[in-house]
Structure 1
């Protein structure tokens, strides 16, 4: 909302200093976007001039005129002007040499178009007053100025413009009336309400609510026959008619200036008046040309299949939730007889078939009150976030309709002539605001400040509330007095005691509320699960992986791209009722889709060697799990509803996933690099489980979306006598999945269920031996299908307590070993905690390890 301070000062006496205004508005909870002192936007001489002559220069491609302009000096100045509307006799705004216009545009005498231009005739945009650049700014003769006078007061450059960002709960501040009211609270000065005007209803009748709002007594002198079929979507509709206006009449300059400051261009006098009243009072209005209507007006919901071409020239398909104003004289093949054709998309934008025309001589002003929810949905459905819709969806005072009509017809007859019809239409079904019962001590308990009951009542009455004593909710000797507060009609946001508390604290001053930090309760720091997740993330980061953070939403098609078979538990998804994107309405059951999306973005931006990991929740709904019940907001949910809601919440375990593409080890002068492979994904799983305090067991497995022959099943060793637990899979992505998701072939992937890994107990610090180790290498020949991890487990099991470490350092196959055989070479480290091992002890431990490997997997010592 942009508004000039001079306009606000018509309703409230406020200082003209920008700093004081900004501080006052911020104190009232309004966000100030900008305060511009227009007196400083144009420097140097800016005067009124009169065009004495305008010679057309014909040898140029566009119309250029060389003007002689009287600026109050002894001789006129010659000024070159390219505006199409410049004409002899006009009063114009002239920037003389030495002036500096907005944008640091300096004016100087210079030669252009074969003439010396000794100044500049300015347009509205060049003066920084608006966006109109179609022609120069012409001052009307009624302004009472003469050549040479200072031009700033004439064009409004002696004002201060305030731009305020209005929060959704303060819709009444989308008007000069609302902002002036807030400034009166901030400065403690009287408020002159522009809506408190005398309204003479003599000779007119007011329609009162009745069982059938479409029927009204024939004796009611209404300006135009109008009926409302849906009083939920429109609970008030008022109208007045002015006949015989001057179609050539223009809005006065002061009105155009105020509209321009607000960012609204001048169109015609009736339309300008509706826009002006909207800015002044906050009541959006519409002007119909009654001569273009063929029958009575009907307010109703749109019908399926109906269409309307709005004022912006767009043909729109209407929705049954939309409210429309219809001309019942027009036949509608989609509607019953008498329903008419839509001529306006109610509360949002009028239609082309009823708008005011340049030759319109009669005008029907409409002021209504519409359902905010309906307007909000209609505006977003049609992508028409108009100034009217912006106000309706935030709440408009339903008692403004008649006041706004009176203001509009007064301006119309004053500046456009015409005769006001005596009748007033007012279909009123507005419900009175509900009173709120609030303990008088509640604001003090919330803010930590003592507010006497009288002070609370004074502050609430200052914003228009009616306050009276009420019965305490819990009578007794210690009962707290209560107040019954009825909010004003312009504050639909005041619905509960908490809203009133906010108003009391805001008006008394947020600065009076002490900033006291709450005492943090003693705690144990991070939980064991949180510490484990941090350890896992740190370990992966130290291994060269970069963390990715993604939204947990995915699309149905990605499950097919991953090749998940029918019946896979990951296909049982939770669908969001109101998703951020219609393309991703599901909660993920695996981290891979979101991680692959991040990988694609990195590859698309030129990255070739990428290693990413993500840790987050997945949402696993069980087969047959019920959905959440529909719970209203009118009261607290019952215990049964809460239990049903809890039962509908899906299981949400923490998963960790990693993906690699490109080179793990780069190539260089030192030699060739090494591309990422399935082994790196398995190693990432080992890193995770090691950081989680568990021992990984790796064996061959099959699971979509991994390559069947290059997929490892990752298990956790739960100790002697306990079965191993499958916690995830790692390996190479299936080629078909790579093609479907546009990922490089050979992409290595790992995903683990972190919550399936038991939390480690108390970790005992290891004891280090100071005695020297005994290093022995062994090479074992096994079947090619035997996992190296099983061979290593056998060596560990047979070597006994003297074995300190075992590491695979070579894998070899050849014809000499035989088809289907391979050689695995391990480096064994033996050490005793209390002595130096002898050679015989080390060899004996080595032989025991080999013997156990032979027993478990049929290993044969190579060369034996």
Structure 2
């Protein structure tokens, strides 16, 4: 946001310097990026009147003029500007003047003709880059007046960074309100009296999308002269705010945009068929924009249409067909309130970013439209002439936002600020900010002003009081810390320890945004509802994550696109799951997740280049589970997950409760996400594992261990893990180790079955086991497997 200091001081004029004003604005929360003079350093330039203008006798492109600058004689000045003509009021650099760049004006002869000065362009005075011709001043410009005084060039442009929550400060009135509050001054609002209708002409207006457009105002203005010149004072104010003058109609709407923060649009009335309809775009509907670009509209885009076609993208960009041009005589002035959610992200989808969309996305004062329309009407009639009809107001009150009513507790205010601000001062600050304040026992109740969308909760009011009271007025107090010894249970497993182990295994920790692309998340979690942010950073960051996979997989793609052939990442963080039974209807779970992709090992002459597979990740995951002491209670079960390969994935269960997933990313998903090759992921509910099981010390047997191998045939759908668990349970204290060392399918094994080769390690702590005991235990295991899984020994 860029504005003129003098324009701001028309609204509120504190007795402080420009630098002090900039510092004050910054401390108010509107960071000043720069303060620059509106013109270069020069002197000796005055208003002149071209009394005579003739062709130079020795040069086709030069003119010889006689100029009155208020002295006792006319000055002879040679000029090469194409717009130089008799009767023009101009800026004259007289002999002795010094222009920007230390350029000194001296009397000289140009092609044999004397020249006692120079007729200046805007660029020559360091005002703008416009060097197409000399400055044309108004006819009433006083001859001989210093041009700096006449054009008010002793001015600065102030550029501020406006945070998304302070959309009200994307206007002069918004900044002026803050300056007035901080200096305890009244706001000098220019007179904006309603314009009486002199026509009865109206246009039918129908709002179908009432939630997206709760308020739409229109006004017919007929008989305007669009070729009229925009007044210099308006052109200068626009220029100092970084906006180029186009024509008086557009200039007026831009002026109101800057002054009040209300985007407006003017339609050529004669190009509107029937009336105005505010609706959502229809399937395959197209629109040619003012810049000549044709866009195919999406069905979630708000459009302003007539009875035949779309005329403009609501709150974003006007259309070429109904735009004002040199032939326009009658216009419809539009002034509307669009819901921020109806505009947010729409412009970016079409590769657009306009002043209107920038403001509507952040929120425009829903009570501002009548005042803005009257202001624009008055300015338009004053510049272009014409007659105005009555205001057509279509408002759906139920859809308009309601200002928040907030209770501010004295205890909360004192605790957060650290000092006690007097009751009357708190009431005064909130009132000057535009709030309607009621004093309560132990606090205040404030109704936020319509232009402050960011005032929603108690902490917002605390911030406002501190901001206006002055952060510099709050004394620095040394931090007081109550140091206490904290207890640490031996059973607490530090997440830091797990992270260290993953780093030792070649992983790198990633930190990704909790805000993710809802489209990508929907691919990973189809059918699951996510929390959508009302004011996202961007459309691609508008949903709260349901898992850490969304960010990690995006990080993998990012690294693979930068020639990283081996990626191993992990992350810990919260996921956000909508849950009506949780606080604020959102459940936050601490998760630990990881992803691997690419080569199994770093490139080495002695190692084959092999891609990672499921068991690489499973081994790393089992190392984590070993740290918890709960590995024996963990089960990997085949279970469908839409994000994972159905044949290379598993759900992770702890004592019958699912705590995570592991698996290869689904091939279709790999393609949609542009992943390069096989990618394996895992995710765990960390809080279910953080309370580790302490190991029990036991005597190591001094007696020999015995191994027996069995091969059993079971149905294909029987998990091998269930077989191993059953063997451990049946073998009781004598079976100290069970391992699956081979899986066979093929000749000798019927279709739908598989052969599992299992090793049983038997050992006793008190004696050497006899062969009969070993055989009995093995037979007991085989019988148990037969009973539970219909297993049989393989021949």
Q: TM-score, normalised by structure 2?
A: 0.64
Q: Distance in 1 between matches of 2:337 and 2:560?
A: 52
Listed as ranges, the gaps of 5+ residues in structure 1 are 205-220, 329-339, 471-479, 556-570, 604-609, 621-626, 632-636, 665-673, 695-727, 729-739, 744-748, 763-864
User: Equivalent residue for 1:285?
Assistant: 264
Change (3 A) 1:506 1:311: same
Q: Is the 8 A contact 2:78 2:118 kept in 1?
A: yes
Matches within 5 A, 1:46-445: 46-51=45-50, 52-53=52-53, 55=55, 64-68=61-65, 70=67, 72=69, 76=75, 78-79=77-78, 81=80, 83-95=81-93, 104=101, 106=103, 121-146=119-144, 149-194=145-190, 197-199=192-194, 223-328=202-307, 340-421=308-389, 423-430=390-397, 431=400, 433-441=402-410, 442-445=412-415
Change (3 A) 1:359 1:520: farther
Give the secondary-structure state (helix, strand or coil) at the position aligned to 1:393: helix
Query: What is the CA distance between 1:365 and its match in structure 2?
Result: 1.8
Change (3 A) 1:639 1:114: same
Number of residue equivalences: 623
Alpha-carbon RMSD across the aligned residues, in angstroms, is: 5.4
Change (3 A) 1:639 1:38: closer
Q: Distance in 2 between matches of 1:199 and 1:460?
A: 29
Give the secondary-structure state (helix, strand or coil) at the position aligned to 2:344: helix
Q: Distance in 2 between matches of 1:596 and 1:294?
A: 50
Superposed CA offset, 1:256-309 (max 9, x none): 100111111111112211111121122221122222223122222221111111
Give the secondary-structure state (helix, strand or coil) at the position aligned to 1:652: strand
Change (3 A) 1:447 1:296: same
Q: Distance in 2 between matches of 1:245 and 1:591?
A: 59
Matches within 5 A, 1:677-826: none
Q: Distance in 1 between matches of 2:186 and 2:5?
A: 16
Change (3 A) 1:136 1:548: farther
User: Equivalent residue for 1:857?
Assistant: none
Q: Distance in 1 between matches of 2:682 and 2:345?
A: 43
Q: Is the 8 A contact 2:123 2:131 kept in 1?
A: yes
| 2:497 pairs with 1:512 | no
Query: What is the CA distance between 1:638 and its match in structure 2?
Result: 1.2
Q: Distance in 2 between matches of 1:532 and 1:424?
A: 69
Q: Distance in 2 between matches of 1:501 and 1:290?
A: 49
Q: Is the 8 A contact 1:58 1:64 kept in 2?
A: no
Q: Distance in 1 between matches of 2:58 and 2:548?
A: 69
Q: TM-score, normalised by structure 1?
A: 0.60
Superposed CA offset, 1:544-599 (max 9, x none): x99796869999xxxxxxxxxxxxxxx999999799599x9996599999679658
User: Equivalent residue for 1:499?
Assistant: 460
Listed as ranges, the gaps of 5+ residues in structure 2 are 518-523, 533-538, 628-661, 663-673, 696-795
Q: Distance in 2 between matches of 1:590 and 1:458?
A: 47
Q: Is the 8 A contact 2:403 2:449 kept in 1?
A: no
User: Equivalent residue for 2:418?
Assistant: 448
Change (3 A) 1:224 1:142: farther
User: Equivalent residue for 1:21?
Assistant: 21
Q: Distance in 1 between matches of 2:547 and 2:459?
A: 36
User: Equivalent residue for 1:463?
Assistant: 433
Query: What is the CA distance between 1:342 and its match in structure 2?
Result: 1.3
Q: Distance in 1 between matches of 2:111 and 2:600?
A: 70
Superposed CA offset, 1:36-84 (max 9, x none): 2346x3234333345543647999xxx9435546374767465553x54
Q: Distance in 2 between matches of 1:638 and 1:162?
A: 50
Change (3 A) 1:513 1:344: same
Query: What is the CA distance between 1:641 and its match in structure 2?
Result: 9.8
Give the secondary-structure state (helix, strand or coil) at the position aligned to 1:270: helix
User: Equivalent residue for 2:743?
Assistant: none
Q: Is the 8 A contact 2:47 2:142 kept in 1?
A: no
Give the secondary-structure state (helix, strand or coil) at the position aligned to 1:384: coil
User: Equivalent residue for 1:638?
Assistant: 581
Q: Is the 8 A contact 1:235 1:370 kept in 2?
A: yes
Query: What is the CA distance between 1:183 and its match in structure 2?
Result: 0.9
